[in-house]
């Protein structure tokens, strides 16, 4: 038989001749009449996902003619025309019946409910939610079958190593390691605030020791301040991470993605809310400015580099704001200002509805979500919404139903696609810049065909300005940590 192969990255298709393998068990011999080459195939051919093994044959959406079947084959016979999927589907289970053949029970088994965890059978893909896995579950199901592989998506959820979720993930990964299986963890935000979060992510798949060899080496790579937001990566951090990491920017894997523009929208809030916010601001501002001044004096005395001085400043301001949060002043301020912006958010939403445009509203406050969802055609995604309901809301919205979705930044910032909308309105921003960016990516992701605009409502208060400045500084620090993580040839490292 012949095929058209990509023999190396960037090479054109080349016709190759090869022997036709003898079918076994329930396999068939198929004459390929046509094969669609989708963008996923192009990503693979160009090694834009970093895991291509050459030679590679693009094209996985196949129409063909059955030539020969083995005795164990019962559903098709020689002469049948067939359509092939890279994931098998039965056509009768609850997912196939609802048009979701890509997660058919035959090819991908989704485990629901406490106590549902089990290891996959040979050739089976098992998908399980973090919330239904515990250390006890892993112990009860026994050892993993030889060669079981593990892929952990949204890996930043394990950044706090002490949580039950992180402990459960480590237990699954350890069982897979003992079964000589491979382990991957995927995350857009390996560090949100401090390097210890990175250690927890690496520990989840047993990669920490390969990267840094010891805790002391890890600490030295970040200037001895791994528990502090002011940690500064040294020249040793990047090469250590490169031993176990493959970094891909959105621009690398989605080169055709439309643009994303962030627009700050000045809004004038009512006088009463502004007065209440100003009163709280007078309590918070002196402590923040004093902490910043003290950090500057310490940096000058220590003759620190610009990067180290920035890290010290970020830590000092974060601590001052954190203290205000602990006594409730920051929480009151954010709630007052966010609720005062609601009328402006609703004006923008109404104008977009009149223009026939779908919209997503993002906030840290449930009260703002509730205000948006008083409008007809709006749905809410907040903490506590069941997974099945989240899926129903997203599928309906993506299918064209309703005007918009209102969500809280952390509850709606992962695991969903809302590319029907071309705009997201942030009534307020999270303190963690990574959480905001994750939320923005519900719109600005593969599958989006429209330019995306992120509107950030800004009441012009001093605290809003300082928090936004703090988030910019945090992004710079995180970028400095990950900037030197490269993998020669674009291949995933072998740990």
- Does a cis peptide bond (omega within 30 degrees of 0) precede residue 490? no
Run of H or E including 110: strand 108-111
Return the pLDDT at 17. 87
User: DSSP letters of 407-438?
Assistant: EETTTSSSS---TT-SEEEESS--SSHHHHHH
User: DSSP letters of 221-258?
Assistant: HTTT-TTSTT----TTHHHHHHTT-----HHHH-TTPP
Which three-class secondary structure state does DSSP give residue 292?
A: helix
Residue 361 CA: distances (Å) to CA of 382, 384, 431: 12, 18, 17
- The DSSP 8-state label assigned to residue 156 in this structure reads G
User: How many separate helices (H) and strands (E) can be counted in the chain?
Assistant: 17, 15
Match 């906030």 to its residue by tokens: 363
Q: ∠ CA(428), CA(380), CA(453), 5° rounding?
A: 50
Match 């020969």 to its residue by tokens: 68
Give the whole-angstrom CA distance, residue 364 versus residue 64.
Answer: 51
Q: What is the pLDDT along the chain (495 residues), one digit of tens a residue?
A: 888 888 888 888 888 888 877 777 778 888 899 888 887 788 888 887 666 788 888 887 889 999 888 877 877 888 999 888 766 666 666 667 666 666 666 666 777 777 788 998 876 778 887 877 888 888 889 999 998 999 998 887 888 888 888 899 999 999 999 999 999 998 877 877 778 888 999 998 989 999 998 999 998 888 777 777 656 677 788 888 888 888 777 776 667 789 999 999 999 999 888 888 888 888 888 888 898 898 889 888 888 777 677 777 777 777 777 776 665 777 788 888 999 999 999 999 999 999 999 999 999 999 999 999 999 999 999 988 888 899 899 999 999 999 999 999 988 887 799 999 999 999 999 877 888 988 999 999 888 999 999 999 999 888 888 778 877 877 776 776 666 565 444 444 444
Contacts of 293 (CB under 8 A, 6+ apart): none
Which three-class secondary structure state does DSSP give residue 59?
A: coil
β-pair partners for 264: 456
């Amino acid at each position: 038989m012949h095929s058209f192969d990509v023999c190396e990255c960037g090479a054109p298709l080349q016709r190759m001749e090869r022997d036709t393998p003898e079918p076994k068990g329930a396999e068939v011999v198929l004459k390929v009449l046509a094969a669609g080459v989708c963008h996923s195939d192009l990503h693979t051919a160009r090694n834009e996902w970093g895991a291509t093994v050459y030679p590679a044959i693009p094209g996985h959406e196949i129409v063909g003619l059955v030539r020969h079947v083995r005795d164990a084959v019962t559903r098709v016979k020689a002469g049948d025309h067939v359509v092939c999927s890279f994931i098998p589907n039965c056509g009768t289970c609850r997912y196939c019946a609802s048009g979701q053949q890509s997660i058919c029970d035959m090819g991908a088994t989704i485990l629901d409910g406490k106590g549902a965890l089990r290891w996959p059978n040979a050739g089976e893909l098992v998908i399980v939610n973090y919330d239904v896995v515990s250390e006890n579950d892993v112990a009860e199901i026994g050892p993993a079958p030889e060669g079981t592989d593990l892929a952990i998506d949204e890996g930043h959820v394990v950044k706090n190593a002490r949580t039950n979720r992180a402990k459960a993930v480590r237990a699954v990964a350890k069982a897979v390691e003992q079964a000589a299986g491979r382990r991957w963890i995927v995350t857009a935000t390996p560090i949100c605030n401090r390097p210890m979060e990175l250690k927890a992510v690496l520990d989840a798949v047993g990669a920490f020791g390969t990267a840094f060899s010891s805790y002391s080496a890890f600490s030295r790579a970040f200037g001895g301040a791994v528990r502090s937001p002011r940690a500064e990566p040294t020249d040793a951090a990047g090469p250590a991470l490169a031993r176990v990491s493959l970094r891909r920017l959105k621009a690398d894997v989605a080169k055709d993605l439309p643009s994303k523009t962030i627009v700050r929208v000045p809004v004038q809030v009512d006088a009463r809310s502004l007065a209440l916010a100003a009163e709280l601001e007078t309590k918070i501002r002196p402590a923040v400015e004093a902490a910043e001044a003290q950090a500057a004096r310490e940096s000058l005395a220590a003759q620190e580099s610009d990067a180290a001085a920035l890290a010290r400043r970020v830590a000092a301001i974060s601590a001052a704001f954190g203290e205000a949060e602990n006594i409730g002043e920051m929480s009151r301020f954010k709630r007052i200002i966010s609720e005062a912006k609601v009328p402006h958010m609703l004006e923008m939403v109404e104008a977009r509805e009149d223009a026939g445009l779908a919209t997503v509203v993002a906030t840290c406050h449930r009260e703002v979500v509730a205000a948006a969802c008083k409008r007809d055609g709006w749905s809410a995604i907040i903490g506590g919404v069941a997974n099945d309901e989240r899926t129903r809301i997203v599928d309906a919205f993506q299918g064209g139903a309703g005007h918009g979705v209102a969500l809280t930044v952390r509850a709606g910032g992962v695991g969903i696609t809302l590319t029907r909308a071309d705009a997201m309105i942030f009534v307020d921003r999270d303190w963690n810049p990574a959480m905001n960016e994750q939320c923005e990516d519900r719109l600005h992701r593969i599958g989006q065909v429209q330019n995306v605009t992120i509107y950030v409502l800004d009441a012009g208060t001093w605290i809003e300005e300082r928090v936004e400045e703090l988030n910019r500084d945090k992004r710079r620090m995180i970028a400095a940590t990950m900037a030197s993580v490269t993998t020669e040839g674009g291949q995933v490292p072998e740990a």
